[in-house]
Amino acid sequence: MRILVIEDEKKVASFIKKGLEEEYFAADIAVDGKEGLNMATTEEYDAIIMDIMLPFIDGISLLKEIRKRQIVTPVLMLTVKDSLKDKVEGLDAGADDYLTKPFAFEELIARIRALLRRNETTKSSKLKVGDLVLDLQSHKVIRDNQEIVLTPKEYAILEYLMRNSNKVVSRTKLIEHVYEYHFDPETNIIDVYINKVRSKVDTNFASPLIHTIRGIGYIIKDE
Q: What is the pLDDT of residues 17-36, one digit of tens each?
A: 999 988 888 899 999 999 99
Q: How far is CA 128 from CA 47, 139, 157, in A?
A: 23, 13, 15
- The whole-number pLDDT of residue 87 equals 80
Question: What's the rounded Cα separation, in Å, for the pair 187 and 202?
Answer: 24
- The alpha carbons of the chain give a radius of gyration, in whole angstroms, of 18
Quick one: average pLDDT of 104-110? 92
Other beta carbons within 10 Å of 17:
20
* CATH fold of 2-119: Rossmann fold (3.40.50)
- Residue 45 contacts residue 72 (beta carbons within 8 Å): no
Q: For the chain, what are the domain ranges?
A: 2-119, 126-220
CATH number of 126-220: 1.10.10.10
Give the residue with greater pLDDT, 91 vs 132.
132
* Contact predicate 219/166, CB 8 Å: yes
Give CA torsion, residues 86, 91, 93, 95, to 10 deg. Answer: 120
SS3 content of the chain, % helix, strand, coil (to 5): 40, 20, 40
Write down the pLDDT at residue 122: 46
Tell me the C-alpha distance between 164 and 141, whole Å. Answer: 17
Closest of 115, 121, 116 to residue 99, by C-alpha: 115
Residue 218 and residue 43: Cα distance in Å, rounded?
A: 21
Residues 146-176 as b/e (b if ≥16 CB within 10 A, e otherwise) read eebebeebbbbbbbbbbbbbeeebebebbbb
Distance CA 142, CA 158 (A): 12
114-165 pLDDT, tens digit per residue, is 898 876 654 567 899 999 999 988 889 999 999 999 998 899 899 999 999 9
